Amino acid sequence: MPFPPDAFLEALQTFSRHERMDPLMLLCKLTEEAGELAEAVLVERGFKPHKTLEPDAALGEAADVLMCLLLVLCRLHPERSPEQIAAQLAGRMDDKLARYVARQPRTAAD
């Protein structure tokens, strides 16, 4: 199952033109967003019954985490085009997905 290189290309193109935040600041923002994702998961799973969030809040927080990751890549590699970053990211995703699938136990359906 190949990962499509253009999955994040539009976001990378936009960020390469507009984002000027320092990579260290973006890592801090990524940490903040990851914490918000963790909280949304805890609320969804009932570990924080006193809190309420909108339905599918974890999906929105996951999108924020992905955006921060893409921003970090753009700022860390300003010499690379968005197309290069997208292609390299897709290649790495393919490799990691293949290794993940290979580690999974076989089921009767396999």
> What predicted TM-score, i.e. pTM, was given to this entire model?
0.80
Torsion of CA 64, 56, 99, 104, to 10 degrees: 160
| pLDDT digit string, tens, across residues 59-94 | 999 999 999 998 888 888 889 998 999 899 989 999
Contacts of 7 (CB under 8 A, 6+ apart): 86, 90
The CATH fold of domain 5-103: Helix Hairpins (1.10.287)
The domain ranges of the chain are 5-103
Distances (CA, A) of 89 to 1, 6, 57, 82, 93: 15, 10, 26, 10, 6
| pLDDT digit string, tens, across residues 7-65 | 888 888 887 787 677 888 889 999 999 999 999 999 999 999 999 999 999 999 999 99
- Secondary structure (DSSP) of 6-37: GGTHHHHHHHHHH----HHHHHHHHHHHHHHH
Q: Is residue 101 left, alpha or beta, with left meaning phi > 0 and alpha meaning psi from -120 to 50?
A: alpha
What's the token pair of residue 108? 């009767």
